[in-house]
Structure 1
Amino acid sequence: MTNRTARAFDMLADPTRRAILERIGHAPAAVGEIAAGLPVSRPAVSQHLKLLKEAGLVTETAAGTRRIYRIDPRGLGAMRDWLDQFWRTSLDNFAAYAEAQAKEEEKE
């Protein structure tokens, strides 16, 4: 696992950052829209967004005086690639087990 991927996982350990990521996962949004309904202040949301951006999970673009935040697919892709290695191994192990069970049943 790269340091950047590890940092991304660390960032998602915080429930507020997970909530922020979920919100902008549905649609890009400005800080005020993201902060609405969260139990933290707008400045706190801005700090969380800064950390998510540094971890490569969020990007921002200027829209007039506002900053619009959205998911950075590259950051999530790196996390998914790391998780997929376990999924592939699990599927391979399951396939081997199923084949062994089928051979056992053929013998009976």
Structure 2
Amino acid sequence: MDEVAGAIADPVRREILVMLHADRLSAGEIAARFDISRPAVSRHLRVLRESGLVRDELVGRQRFYALDPGPLDGLARWLAQFARPASWEHRLDALETEVYRTRRDRRADRREESE
């Protein structure tokens, strides 16, 4: 998890992950989208590959990169413990409680009427 967290700590690497979320790209296509040198992009790709977030495939003379989101699962589970439920989740919980209460009250009313 520490290696994944370190890999996504850099904004360039996060942007590469976003780009690869949509499609696999060659190293040249990735580098063309940044105002940094190709060797710098290559180093970022190496960090992402070593963390397991990106896999590469050699096709002819081109190397293509694709996202592998699996390693993010552990980090996401760890981060989830700090997340507050969204306000809509509270509202849905309240609605569910009200639905159950209404059903219970209706059943009780029917029992009283039949007695």
TM-score normalised according to structure 2 size: 0.66
- What does residue 69 of structure 1 align with? 65
Q: How far off is 1:68 after superposition?
A: 0.8
Q: How far off is 1:98 after superposition?
A: 5.3
TM-score normalised according to structure 1 size: 0.70
Give, in whole Å, the separation in 2 of the partners of 1:70 and 1:82: 24
Q: How far off is 1:77 after superposition?
A: 2.3
1:49-95: CA deviations, max 9, x gaps? 000111111111111111111111211222223233445x747xx58
2:10 to 14, 17, 31: 14
Structure 2 residues without counterparts, runs of 5 or longer: 99-115
Aligned partner letter, 1:23: M
Structure 1 residues without counterparts, runs of 5 or longer: 103-108
Aligned partner letter, 2:62: R
| Aligned partner of residue 73 in structure 1, secondary structure | coil
Deviation above 6 Å: which 4+ runs of structure 1? Answer: none
Percent identity over paired residues: 39
Instruction: Mark the structure with the bigger radius of gyration.
Output: 2
1:80 to 56, 76, 82: 76
After TM superposition, list the pairs within 5 Å mapping 1:1-108 onto structure 2.
5-87=1-83, 90=85, 94=90
Q: How far off is 1:15 after superposition?
A: 1.0
Give, in whole Å, the separation in 2 of the partners of 1:22 and 1:43: 20
Q: CA RMSD in A?
A: 2.6
